[in-house]
Copies of this chain bind each other. A is one copy, B any other.
């Protein structure tokens, strides 16, 4: 039997992780970051497909290593097992005996074909929780279709409301289709653990990437139904507060957020345009929303006179909510992000380091976040077999 000596609120929990690429590994990384022991079971040969996804860095022997894989598989162990081989199945069965949670993101039906369907698992390991993460879920007409992040972003509606005003629907710049499913997966797994602490029985969690997109639609769904208009991309402004969005200054962009008339007047003061306060186009938030294009033109004409840093100081002094638009080079230098320990040095196998995002789930008084690096394929075979008595 395996045991777990990791620190953290989920300490003691053992996760067997069959997942590949992004949604599943993001889910198990969240659990690992919170102290669960996560054992990644990978296909012999190439392992998790994410190992072949860039960006790559060159290792000491010239081999291509995936920095992408590295950033979502820290804090995990790896063993390579072929679940179609009887010998490897024996090892896998031994792992399941110790496990609290099995996570998989195969196309629905696959885990049954491998001999580990829910009926078998629940009978054999009654305390085990099975978390299935798939593109469309375990039920419904599309259940067996393959899904990609972009496909569920498109089907779930978020793409149709992201982009330039009047322009094409635009992908969210990160794989929110995968990431949201991973987060809801971690939520469901923990809920099942809490329930199991009372009932002694595991459950089968059924997370769909498409469902998870629908759950993020926020007010777009009610706006469509109540107002009867199909929501469209509107760039970087708020649908019902103006001025509230991204504006261009001399050397870059900044965000201004004026939620009411008082702040709007301060904003006009700050840009030396007090004469527009009483302009009939801008007297109320409602009229400003209607005339948002005119207002933006006026604001940006003024903003072109100075740089972002100078404007930030002016707006802050006036009490106008303002923020920088950070690109990735700014993010890694941002004082707040660094003060929060949100970027951690991760050692590459060539001796170099890169920054990866830390866990955002922080408890006051806990030790600083210090994960172990992502495993090499099959790195923990020997130690695991020894622990299992094999």
**CB within 8 Å of B: which residues of A?**
8-13, 22, 30, 34-35, 53-57, 67-68, 70-72, 118, 136-142, 146, 148, 150-152, 154-164, 167-176, 179-180, 183-184, 186-188, 190-195, 197-198, 203-208, 210-212, 214-227, 230-238, 240, 244-246, 248, 253-255, 257, 321-332, 334-337, 339-340, 342-343, 354-365
Complex A-B: 19 CB contacts under 8 Å: A35-B191, A53-B219, A68-B219, A71-B218, A71-B222, A141-B336, A155-B324, A164-B168, A168-B253, A183-B183, A183-B187, A184-B360, A187-B190, A192-B363, A194-B194, A211-B340, A214-B343, A221-B332, A224-B332
Tell me if B140 and A335 are in contact (CB < 8 A): yes
Closest to A157 in B: B331
Closest to A346 in B: B222
Name the B residues within 8 Å of A225 (CB-CB). Answer: 67, 332, 354-355
Q: Which one, B10, B56, B155, contacts A323 given CB within 8 A? A: B155
Report the minimum CB–CB distance from A130 to chain B (whole Å).
9
Report the minimum CB–CB distance from A350 to chain B (whole Å).
11
Name the B residues within 8 Å of A234 (CB-CB). Answer: 173
Tell me if B223 and A55 are in contact (CB < 8 A): yes
Name the B residues within 8 Å of A223 (CB-CB). Answer: 54-55, 328
Report the minimum CB–CB distance from A236 to chain B (whole Å).
4
Q: Which one, B137, B161, B169, contacts A174 given CB within 8 A? A: B161
Tell me if B188 and A363 are in contact (CB < 8 A): yes
Task: From known contacts A194-B10, A323-B155, infer whether A215 and B359 are also in contact, taking CB-CB under 8 Å.
Answer: yes
Tell me if B360 and A329 are in contact (CB < 8 A): no
Q: A150-B246, A208-B360, A214-B360 are in contact. List 20 more A-B contacts (CB 8 A).
A: A9-B194, A55-B219, A55-B223, A56-B226, A136-B336, A139-B340, A142-B336, A148-B244, A154-B255, A161-B328, A171-B246, A173-B231, A174-B217, A187-B187, A204-B364, A214-B337, A215-B359, A217-B357, A224-B328, A225-B332
